[in-house]
Amino acid sequence: MTNDQHDLELLLQSRIPLIVIETRDEKRVTRLFAKLAVRLALPVMAWSATTGMHRIDFESTPQRHTIEPRQALGQIRATTNPSIYLLLDFHPYLDDPFNVRLLKEIALEHHSVGHTLVLISHEVDIPEELQAFSARFSLSLPDVPHIDRIIHEEADHWSKAHMGRKVKTDRKTLDLITRQLLGLTATDAQRIIRTIIFDDGAINHADLDRVTRARYQLLETNGALSIEFETTDFGEVGGLRGLKRWIRLRRNAFLETNSQLDAPKGILLVGVQGGGKSLAAKAVAGMWRLPLLRLDFGTLYNKFFGETERNLRDALKSAEAMAPCVLWIDEIEKAIAGGDYDSGTSLRILGSLLTWMAERKAAVFIVATANVIEQLPPELIRKGRLDEIFFVDLPDASTRAEIFTIHLRKRELDPEAFDIAGLAQLTEGFSGAEIEQAVVAAAYLAREDQVPVDTGHIRSEIGQTRPLSQVMAEKVARLRAWARDRTVSAN
């Protein structure tokens, strides 16, 4: 007997009238109850709006006269033999007070009649009148050995269909794919694996993005949570040597479930605008080969009381469903800085976020970025909720040279043809974003002159740029002074 079957049997024996199962794997639930019907010697009926009522523990003709929900519930109430009834996708009919009353009357008669109603759908909101009679049951999700079996079964099917040819892959890629499939139902995992194998007879690194996209599409996000597919590796980030080392040392502790070390929870990146905080967030996901989810607090806010907090809870629930993953919260100070007309929403958002950060069990690594540290409450940045606060300062000369090299190569220009050291000296006080823009603008200038880009074009653009460190010198100096004794240098 499987664990799910055993747990369901215990739940049925506890004599709870209404059981709620939220799942997309309807067939799996139906099979479980078909097995339980034999063990418990109880008839199991299933109802849907297309077929009406029919028995699932043996072949039977659907009762077409019970297609209407009221007729189905009326028949259940009139039946005196104890039975289990699976109500498939019944959630739209819970808005009808008549149906709710019928369900309540059936529940009230449970001890004398013995009917158990099981509501099965992707999402079920139980009306308040029925909550005292109901319990929720969650199907277990496949673990690593189970997913490995699914992969091997699908590979065997492909091999038999292609004259014994073997599916091409390697152990490292298989481990990454398996980890990405954790959190999915067996049916969803099987469908994704079948798709990538039967496409080209291989499981390779390119399939990682396909698995991530497929997982994300299975989620019902509210728009506040988006996925960033264009993650980069730390090789494309200039400087940040301290941060790179910190992330590298904690990779295995986060990804390995049996690690002897405490798994890291997250980091806060503070620094000057354009210094590379957002790029570093993408690089963490790229280095760990994990999905990068971006939480947009601007989309969360709703004018109706309580909706904003619900949107946040739904977004965080979706992030947990994508675990293991990296959750990027950009400019977090804007989300929780309340105003005069905030009606307490920001405080409630902060409370919900802090509670989740402290209690979450899923492997979700937080990378929060902030530009105005004074607006962040101390309870958010204390140790325990986040592991470390890194200060991303303006790049030094060697880092600026590295950034020039990266952006020239990205545009298929040979860094050896440029005076990198001289350009690095000229850009004292420039951020990484401002250096990139100088290279971009130089390309336009060269096109206007109808000549290849050279050092002179970049020098010209640098001369016309006033970096943020000059325009907002006082603000930058104040931020640097605050960070000096309170943060760890990312560089």
Task: Identify which has the larger pLDDT, 228 or 400.
Answer: 400
Q: By percentage, how much of the chain surpasses pLDDT 70?
A: 93
**What mean pLDDT do residues 413-431 have?**
93
Place of tokens 């009148």: 129
pLDDT digits (tens, 9 = 90+) for 66-107: 999 999 999 999 999 999 999 999 999 999 999 999 999 999
C-alpha to C-alpha distance for 257 and 485, rounded to whole angstroms: 35
119 pLDDT more than 60: yes
pTM (2 d.p.): 0.69
pLDDT digits (tens, 9 = 90+) for 206-255: 888 788 888 777 765 566 788 887 777 776 777 888 898 999 999 888 88
Q: In what order do the strands lie in the sheet with 364-370?
A: 225-228, 292-295, 325-329, 364-370, 266-271, 388-392, 488-489
Place of tokens 């979450």: 360
What per-residue confidence (pLDDT) applies to 220? 58
What per-residue confidence (pLDDT) applies to 420? 95
What per-residue confidence (pLDDT) applies to 215? 78
**What mean pLDDT do residues 259-271 have?**
86
181-195, 288-302, 347-361, 390-404: range with highest mean pLDDT? 390-404
What per-residue confidence (pLDDT) applies to 75? 94
What per-residue confidence (pLDDT) applies to 341? 42
C-alpha to C-alpha distance for 13 and 42, rounded to whole angstroms: 12
Average pLDDT, the chain: 86
**What mean pLDDT do residues 41-60 have?**
89
Instruction: Please report how many Cα atoms fall inside a 13 Å half-sphere around the Cα of residue 363, on the Cβ side.
Output: 22
93 Cβ neighbours under 8 A, 6+ residues apart: 69, 99
Lowest mean pLDDT among 102-111, 311-320, 341-350: 341-350
What per-residue confidence (pLDDT) applies to 319? 85
What per-residue confidence (pLDDT) applies to 340? 44
What per-residue confidence (pLDDT) applies to 86? 96
Which amino acid makes up residue 315? Answer: A
422 Cβ neighbours under 8 A, 6+ residues apart: 455, 459
CA distances from 109 to 40, 105, 119 (A): 20, 6, 18
6 pLDDT more than 70: yes
C-alpha to C-alpha distance for 219 and 317, rounded to whole angstroms: 10
CATH of domain 397-471: 1.10.8.60
342 pLDDT more than 70: no
Q: By percentage, how much of the chain surpasses pLDDT 90?
A: 38
What per-residue confidence (pLDDT) applies to 357? 86
What per-residue confidence (pLDDT) applies to 230? 72
C-alpha to C-alpha distance for 18 and 108, rounded to whole angstroms: 11
C-alpha to C-alpha distance for 429 and 277, rounded to whole angstroms: 16
CA distances from 489 to 239, 242, 269, 330, 338 (A): 11, 7, 10, 19, 29
Cβ–Cβ < 8 Å for 188, 24: yes
What per-residue confidence (pLDDT) applies to 44? 93
CB burial of 147-180 (b: ≥16 within 10 Å; e: otherwise) equals beebbeebbeebeeeeeeeebebeeebeebbbbb
C-alpha to C-alpha distance for 355 and 347, rounded to whole angstroms: 12
Decide: helix, strand or coil at residue 459: helix
C-alpha to C-alpha distance for 396 and 429, rounded to whole angstroms: 8
461 pLDDT more than 80: yes
Q: Which CATH architecture has domain 228-392?
A: 3-Layer(aba) Sandwich (3.40)
Residue 38 burial (C-beta neighbours within 10 Å; 0-12, 13-18, 19+): exposed
Taking 3-state DSSP, the helix, strand and coil percentages for the chain, each rounded to the nearest 5, stand at 55, 15, 35
What per-residue confidence (pLDDT) applies to 303? 46
301 pLDDT more than 80: no
> What angle (nearest 5°) sits at the alpha carbon of residue 400, between those of residues 396 and 404?
175
**What mean pLDDT do residues 174-194 have?**
85
C-alpha to C-alpha distance for 206 and 176, rounded to whole angstroms: 11
Q: What length does the chain have?
A: 491
**What mean pLDDT do residues 378-406 have?**
86
pLDDT digits (tens, 9 = 90+) for 471-483: 888 888 888 888 8
**What mean pLDDT do residues 264-277 have?**
85
Lowest mean pLDDT among 14-18, 35-39, 246-250, 276-280: 276-280
**What mean pLDDT do residues 329-335 have?**
80
C-alpha to C-alpha distance for 402 and 491, rounded to whole angstroms: 13
CATH of domain 3-136: 3.40.50
C-alpha to C-alpha distance for 244 and 266, rounded to whole angstroms: 14
